Structure 1
Amino acid sequence: MSDEQNRKKVLSQPFKPKEDELFRTLWEAQAGKCALCGEDMPQNRFETAHSTLWKKLRPTFDHIKPRSKGGPDTPENLQLAHARCNKIKGNK
């Protein structure tokens, strides 16, 4: 998928203001760092230009205590992590 196709796909997604607000709150609380590896994360979805890099580096919501292990889907149980870090962590 080209960068332009990826951009159009992202822009076609419904806007979720509560999710966006939560993202900003967590991003600021974590000083823009991945909660799992400590490296910098993009502040917005267009900061990383190449779509292959974006798939790995994009910030994702990570459940501190996984839902599969009874963790709640609440802001207190969420942190931001790179997509690749979140995938590696799995349900640990």
Structure 2
Amino acid sequence: MNSKQKRNKKTQLIREYGSRCWWCGCYLPSEELTIDHLKPKSKGGSDSLENLRLACFQCNNSRGNSLFPPEKKSKAFSLSSISNSRNRG
């Protein structure tokens, strides 16, 4: 996406979801919000509005190329570990 496309997408996302981070819920001025891909481009995600959300820098940066939100990575692992241990025993 070029800078004009990013501005247009960000404006559309703000209209749809408001000026807050999709992951942590903090409200920020539009210039402090970043565009985050739900499915990272490195994993085949697109620049379509359906795949884009607004995120604060910290949440966007800490997600990296993960499909999980930052705080959910360890929870998803923990839940699968609990489930596996219950099934075994």
Instruction: Classify the TM-score, shorter chain.
Output: 0.5 to 0.7
1:26-84 deviation digits (Å, cap 9, x = unpaired): 012112110111110212x3xxxxxxxxxxxx211100001111111222211110111
Report how many residues are paired: 65
| Greater relative CO (CA pairs within 8 A, separation 6+) | 1
Given the two structures, how large is their TM-score scaled by the length of structure 1? 0.61
The structure number with the bigger radius of gyration is: 2
When the two chains are superposed, the root-mean-square deviation of aligned CA atoms in Å is 1.7
**Larger % of helix: which?**
2
Q: Which runs of 4+ in 1 moved over 6 A?
A: none
**Which amino acid in structure 2 is aligned with residue 78 of structure 1?**
L
Match of 2:60 in 1: 86
Match of 1:67 in 2: 41
Mean CA deviation greater in 21-30 or 77-86: 21-30
Q: Could you tell me how far apart the structure 2 residues matched to 1:87 and 1:81 are?
A: 9
Q: Which segments of 5 or more consecutive residues in structure 2 lack a partner in the other structure?
A: 67-89
Q: Could you tell me how far apart the structure 1 residues matched to 2:43 and 2:35 are?
A: 16
Mean CA deviation greater in 32-41 or 18-27: 18-27
Q: Which segments of 5 or more consecutive residues in structure 1 lack a partner in the other structure?
A: 1-14, 46-57
1:28 aligns with 2:15: yes
- Identical counterparts, % of pairs: 37
